[in-house]
Homo-oligomer: A and B are copies of this chain.
Protein backbone atom coordinates (compact mmCIF):
# COMPACT_ATOMS: atom_id res chain seq x y z
CA UNK A 1 0.00 0.00 0.00
CA UNK A 2 1.67 3.19 -1.19
CA UNK A 3 0.14 6.27 0.43
CA UNK A 4 0.00 9.50 -1.56
CA UNK A 5 2.26 11.71 0.48
CA UNK A 6 2.76 14.32 -2.21
CA UNK A 7 -0.95 14.96 -2.55
CA UNK A 8 -1.05 16.15 1.06
CA UNK A 9 1.96 18.43 0.57
CA UNK A 10 0.22 19.95 -2.43
CA UNK A 11 -2.87 20.54 -0.31
CA UNK A 12 -0.75 22.38 2.29
CA UNK A 13 0.75 24.58 -0.42
CA UNK A 14 -2.62 25.31 -1.96
CA UNK A 15 -4.71 25.84 1.19
CA UNK A 16 -1.96 27.64 3.18
CA UNK A 17 -3.63 26.76 6.50
CA UNK A 18 -3.09 28.93 9.57
CA UNK A 19 -1.32 26.86 12.24
CA UNK A 20 -1.57 28.34 15.72
CA UNK A 21 1.32 27.50 18.08
CA UNK A 22 1.93 27.70 21.78
CA UNK A 23 5.43 26.35 21.67
CA UNK A 24 8.77 26.65 23.42
CA UNK A 25 11.10 29.66 23.35
CA UNK A 26 14.12 27.71 22.12
CA UNK A 27 12.85 26.61 18.74
CA UNK A 28 9.94 28.99 18.21
CA UNK A 29 11.57 30.61 15.17
CA UNK A 30 12.29 27.29 13.49
CA UNK A 31 8.78 26.04 14.22
CA UNK A 32 7.31 29.11 12.57
CA UNK A 33 9.75 29.11 9.69
CA UNK A 34 9.39 25.45 8.75
CA UNK A 35 5.60 25.89 8.59
CA UNK A 36 6.11 28.95 6.38
CA UNK A 37 8.61 27.21 4.10
CA UNK A 38 6.19 24.30 3.71
CA UNK A 39 3.81 26.92 2.32
CA UNK A 40 1.45 27.37 5.27
CA UNK A 41 0.88 30.25 7.64
CA UNK A 42 2.25 30.00 11.21
CA UNK A 43 0.96 32.15 14.03
CA UNK A 44 2.48 32.21 17.50
CA UNK A 45 0.32 33.66 20.28
CA UNK A 46 0.19 32.78 23.96
CA UNK A 47 -1.63 35.58 25.84
CA UNK A 48 -4.49 34.00 27.77
CA UNK A 49 -6.67 36.90 26.61
CA UNK A 50 -6.25 36.12 22.88
CA UNK A 51 -5.47 32.43 22.40
CA UNK A 52 -9.12 31.40 22.08
CA UNK A 53 -9.66 34.02 19.35
CA UNK A 54 -6.47 33.00 17.57
CA UNK A 55 -7.34 29.29 17.61
CA UNK A 56 -10.67 30.23 16.03
CA UNK A 57 -8.96 31.55 12.89
CA UNK A 58 -6.57 28.58 12.67
CA UNK A 59 -6.89 25.16 11.03
CA UNK A 60 -4.69 23.35 13.58
CA UNK A 61 -3.24 23.98 17.03
CA UNK A 62 0.28 22.91 18.04
CA UNK A 63 1.20 22.71 21.73
CA UNK A 64 4.78 22.09 22.89
CA UNK A 65 5.75 22.03 26.57
CA UNK A 66 9.51 22.41 25.99
CA UNK A 67 9.82 25.56 28.13
CA UNK A 68 6.51 25.34 29.97
CA UNK A 69 5.41 27.44 32.92
CA UNK A 70 2.21 27.04 34.89
CA UNK A 71 0.64 30.12 33.27
CA UNK A 72 1.69 29.02 29.82
CA UNK A 73 -0.07 25.68 30.25
CA UNK A 74 -3.22 27.54 31.33
CA UNK A 75 -3.06 29.42 28.02
CA UNK A 76 -2.66 26.08 26.24
CA UNK A 77 -5.85 24.79 27.86
CA UNK A 78 -7.81 27.87 26.78
CA UNK A 79 -6.48 27.57 23.23
CA UNK A 80 -7.18 23.83 23.10
CA UNK A 81 -10.75 24.26 24.37
CA UNK A 82 -11.33 26.77 21.60
CA UNK A 83 -9.76 24.41 19.06
CA UNK A 84 -11.90 21.54 20.33
CA UNK A 85 -15.04 23.65 19.92
CA UNK A 86 -14.08 24.57 16.39
CA UNK A 87 -13.17 20.96 15.63
CA UNK A 88 -9.59 21.56 14.48
CA UNK A 89 -6.85 19.05 15.40
CA UNK A 90 -4.70 19.65 18.48
CA UNK A 91 -1.14 18.29 18.51
CA UNK A 92 0.77 17.97 21.79
CA UNK A 93 4.56 17.57 21.80
CA UNK A 94 5.30 16.05 25.23
CA UNK A 95 8.80 17.51 25.04
CA UNK A 96 10.85 16.54 28.09
CA UNK A 97 8.14 14.40 29.68
CA UNK A 98 9.76 12.31 32.36
CA UNK A 99 12.43 14.90 33.16
CA UNK A 100 10.56 16.64 35.99
CA UNK A 101 7.39 16.16 37.98
CA UNK A 102 5.99 19.42 36.63
CA UNK A 103 6.22 18.18 33.04
CA UNK A 104 4.55 14.88 33.81
CA UNK A 105 1.80 16.53 35.82
CA UNK A 106 1.09 19.17 33.18
CA UNK A 107 1.03 16.62 30.35
CA UNK A 108 -1.61 14.61 32.15
CA UNK A 109 -3.56 17.75 33.05
CA UNK A 110 -3.66 18.67 29.36
CA UNK A 111 -4.56 15.16 28.25
CA UNK A 112 -7.32 14.92 30.85
CA UNK A 113 -8.84 18.40 30.49
CA UNK A 114 -8.92 18.94 26.73
CA UNK A 115 -9.06 16.72 23.65
CA UNK A 116 -5.58 16.10 22.26
CA UNK A 117 -5.78 14.58 18.78
CA UNK A 118 -2.10 13.78 18.26
CA UNK A 119 0.44 12.98 21.01
CA UNK A 120 4.02 13.27 19.80
CA UNK A 121 7.37 12.60 21.45
CA UNK A 122 10.45 10.42 21.39
CA UNK A 123 10.46 6.89 22.79
CA UNK A 124 11.15 7.74 26.41
CA UNK A 125 8.76 10.71 26.48
CA UNK A 126 5.84 8.79 24.99
CA UNK A 127 6.55 5.76 27.17
CA UNK A 128 6.35 8.04 30.21
CA UNK A 129 2.95 9.30 29.07
CA UNK A 130 1.77 5.83 28.20
CA UNK A 131 3.06 4.53 31.54
CA UNK A 132 -0.10 5.23 33.37
CA UNK A 133 -2.15 3.30 30.84
CA UNK A 134 0.20 0.72 29.42
CA UNK A 135 2.68 -1.66 30.99
CA UNK A 136 5.95 -1.28 29.14
CA UNK A 137 9.35 -2.90 29.27
CA UNK A 138 12.45 -1.41 27.68
CA UNK A 139 12.01 2.24 26.98
CA UNK A 140 15.35 3.53 25.84
CA UNK A 141 15.34 1.72 22.54
CA UNK A 142 15.68 4.18 19.70
CA UNK A 143 15.17 1.64 16.94
CA UNK A 144 11.69 0.60 16.21
CA UNK A 145 10.90 -2.57 18.07
CA UNK A 146 7.71 -4.34 18.91
CA UNK A 147 7.49 -2.54 22.24
CA UNK A 148 7.31 0.87 20.61
CA UNK A 149 4.63 -0.19 18.15
CA UNK A 150 2.71 -1.74 21.02
CA UNK A 151 3.07 1.41 23.17
CA UNK A 152 1.90 3.62 20.31
CA UNK A 153 -1.10 1.42 19.55
CA UNK A 154 -2.21 1.01 23.13
CA UNK A 155 -1.79 4.69 24.02
CA UNK A 156 -3.69 5.60 20.84
CA UNK A 157 -6.52 3.30 21.82
CA UNK A 158 -6.65 4.31 25.48
CA UNK A 159 -6.56 8.05 24.66
CA UNK A 160 -8.55 7.72 21.42
CA UNK A 161 -5.97 9.69 19.47
CA UNK A 162 -3.04 9.35 17.10
CA UNK A 163 0.37 8.70 18.64
CA UNK A 164 3.68 9.62 17.01
CA UNK A 165 6.98 8.26 18.37
CA UNK A 166 9.97 9.77 16.58
CA UNK A 167 13.38 8.16 16.38
CA UNK A 168 15.64 6.57 13.80
CA UNK A 169 12.39 5.20 12.45
CA UNK A 170 9.14 6.85 13.43
CA UNK A 171 6.04 5.03 14.61
CA UNK A 172 2.63 6.57 13.88
CA UNK A 173 -0.49 4.80 15.08
CA UNK A 174 -4.14 5.56 15.60
CA UNK A 175 -4.68 2.16 17.23
CA UNK A 176 -5.96 0.55 14.05
CA UNK A 177 -3.39 1.40 11.40
CA UNK A 178 0.30 1.88 12.14
CA UNK A 179 2.87 3.56 9.87
CA UNK A 180 6.63 3.17 10.20
CA UNK A 181 8.36 6.14 8.56
CA UNK A 182 11.88 5.11 7.58
CA UNK A 183 13.10 8.33 6.00
CA UNK A 184 15.41 10.83 7.68
CA UNK A 185 19.08 11.08 8.56
CA UNK A 186 21.05 10.70 11.74
CA UNK A 187 22.36 14.32 11.56
CA UNK A 188 18.85 15.46 12.57
CA UNK A 189 19.61 14.34 16.12
CA UNK A 190 22.77 16.47 16.21
CA UNK A 191 21.04 19.84 16.00
CA UNK A 192 18.44 21.39 18.24
CA UNK A 193 14.94 21.79 16.88
CA UNK A 194 14.27 19.02 14.42
CA UNK A 195 11.89 17.33 16.86
CA UNK A 196 9.92 20.51 17.47
CA UNK A 197 9.90 21.32 13.77
CA UNK A 198 8.55 17.84 13.03
CA UNK A 199 5.66 18.51 15.41
CA UNK A 200 4.86 21.77 13.64
CA UNK A 201 4.91 20.02 10.28
CA UNK A 202 2.57 17.35 11.64
CA UNK A 203 0.21 20.12 12.76
CA UNK A 204 0.43 21.65 9.30
CA UNK A 205 -0.51 18.43 7.52
CA UNK A 206 -3.22 17.67 10.10
CA UNK A 207 -4.72 21.03 9.13
CA UNK A 208 -5.51 19.69 5.65
CA UNK A 209 -6.22 15.98 6.23
CA UNK A 210 -8.74 14.45 8.61
CA UNK A 211 -7.04 11.04 8.78
CA UNK A 212 -4.51 12.11 11.39
CA UNK A 213 -2.31 9.01 11.18
CA UNK A 214 -2.00 9.52 7.44
CA UNK A 215 -1.37 13.24 7.95
CA UNK A 216 1.33 12.60 10.57
CA UNK A 217 3.14 9.94 8.56
CA UNK A 218 3.04 12.10 5.43
CA UNK A 219 4.35 15.12 7.33
CA UNK A 220 7.28 13.20 8.78
CA UNK A 221 8.02 11.61 5.42
CA UNK A 222 8.19 14.98 3.61
CA UNK A 223 10.31 16.59 6.32
CA UNK A 224 12.69 13.65 6.43
CA UNK A 225 12.99 13.26 2.66
CA UNK A 226 14.08 16.91 2.66
CA UNK A 227 16.63 16.06 5.35
CA UNK A 228 18.03 13.26 3.20
CA UNK A 229 18.40 15.68 0.28
CA UNK A 230 19.92 18.38 2.49
CA UNK A 231 22.59 16.21 4.08
CA UNK A 232 24.07 15.37 0.71
CA UNK A 233 25.02 19.01 0.17
CA UNK A 234 26.12 19.72 3.76
CA UNK A 235 29.45 19.86 5.57
CA UNK A 236 28.01 19.70 9.08
CA UNK A 237 25.00 20.68 11.18
CA UNK A 238 25.21 24.38 10.25
CA UNK A 239 24.99 23.95 6.51
CA UNK A 240 22.56 21.04 6.98
CA UNK A 241 20.01 23.32 8.59
CA UNK A 242 20.31 25.92 5.86
CA UNK A 243 19.99 23.24 3.19
CA UNK A 244 17.03 21.65 4.98
CA UNK A 245 14.94 24.78 4.42
CA UNK A 246 16.00 24.93 0.78
CA UNK A 247 15.14 21.26 0.31
CA UNK A 248 11.69 21.58 1.90
CA UNK A 249 10.94 24.55 -0.34
CA UNK A 250 11.90 22.59 -3.46
CA UNK A 251 10.22 19.26 -2.68
CA UNK A 252 8.46 17.95 -5.75
CA UNK A 253 6.26 15.01 -6.68
CA UNK A 254 8.95 13.01 -8.43
CA UNK A 255 11.40 13.24 -5.54
CA UNK A 256 8.88 12.33 -2.89
CA UNK A 257 7.48 9.39 -4.82
CA UNK A 258 10.98 8.07 -5.42
CA UNK A 259 12.25 8.53 -1.88
CA UNK A 260 9.27 7.98 0.43
CA UNK A 261 9.82 4.97 2.65
CA UNK A 262 6.79 4.16 4.76
CA UNK A 263 5.74 0.75 5.99
CA UNK A 264 2.10 0.24 6.86
CA UNK A 265 0.91 -2.29 9.43
CA UNK A 266 -2.75 -3.23 9.52
CA UNK A 267 -3.75 -5.98 11.88
CA UNK A 268 -1.01 -8.58 11.52
CA UNK A 269 -0.12 -7.63 7.98
CA UNK A 270 2.65 -5.35 6.83
CA UNK A 271 2.50 -3.49 3.47
Contact = CB atoms under 8 A, between A and B. Distances in A.
Interface stretch (A121-129, A147-155, A239-247, A260-268): A239-247
A3 interface: no
Nearest to A75: B69
Chain copies in complex:
3
A32 B192 contact: yes
21 contacts: A25-B25, A25-B28, A26-B29, A29-B29, A29-B30, A37-B238, A45-B67, A50-B68, A50-B102, A50-B103, A53-B101, A54-B100, A234-B246, A236-B246, A236-B247, A236-B249, A237-B245, A237-B249, A238-B243, A239-B242, A241-B242
Nearest to A47: B69
Contact of A235 (B24, B54, B102, B246): B246
A191 interface: yes
A44 B26 contact: yes
Contacts of A236: 37, 245-250
A46 B26 contact: no
B54 A99 contact: yes
A101 B246 CA distance: 36
Nearest to A236: B246
Interface in A56-92: 57, 66-70
Nearest to A54: B100
A42 interface: yes
Interface in A14-62: 24-30, 32-33, 36-37, 42-47, 49-50, 53-54, 57
A246 B237 contact: yes
